[in-house]
Amino acid sequence: MLSEALTRAESLIRTIPDYPEPGVQFRDITPLLVDARALRTVIHAMIAPFEGSFDVVAGVEARGFLLAGAVAMEAGAGLVPIRKAGKLPLPAASVTYSLEYGTATIEAHDDIAVGTRVLLVDDVLATGGTLVAAHELVETLGGVVVGTAVLMELTALGGRDVVGDVHTVFTG
């Protein structure tokens, strides 16, 4: 049964207190990634609402890459990495956005053809700044964001209010 499989998969996510700094409750998805059955279960859950509606998956660095690659393979779609600034040899577009503690910039190559239907994938929705910037970046390159899927939403941080409609597998 799918709900039992999802419950099992969720139980594999560890919370590590005070990492990377005091007060932060880091969600470690590594145990879930190691378990092939759990990984397959969450990948199917991430794809389900968007089945057949996207051509390319855009994965946000860094853990979002892992999930996006699996989503792309399972869906038979392409993959576009959205990287932190300075990690790509030929960035075509970049977006700078605000964080609680400063700013950050993400970049992508110009590998998205105009009109390409894109599913954004990341591991965690926290405050939402990164996903809003990723959405803007995809549109700047000519893509059409058809949806956003994340493994886990940290509801207390209010990211959904910033990002809007997001499909989440788990909430925490």
Q: Is 61 a catalytic residue?
A: no
| Rounded-to-integer distance, Cα 137 and Cα 1, Å | 38
- Given a contact cutoff of 8 angstroms between Cβ atoms, the answer to whether 50 and 168 are in contact is no
Does the active-site annotation cover 153?
no
Amino acid at 140: T
One of 10, 27, 63, 160 is an active-site residue; which one? 63
Instruction: Kindly give, in sequence order, each residue whose CB lies less than 8 Å from that of residue 163, ignoring residues fewer than 6 positions away.
Output: 125, 128, 131, 132, 135, 148
Q: Please report, as a single letter, which amino acid is at residue 123.
A: D
For residue 6, give the H/E element and its range. helix 2-11
What tokens were used for 141? Answer: 């390159």
User: DSSP code of 77?
Assistant: -
Distance CA 146, CA 111 (A): 17
Catalytic residue among 4, 21, 51, 100, which? 100
Structure tokens of 55? 């051509």
Active site residues: 63, 100
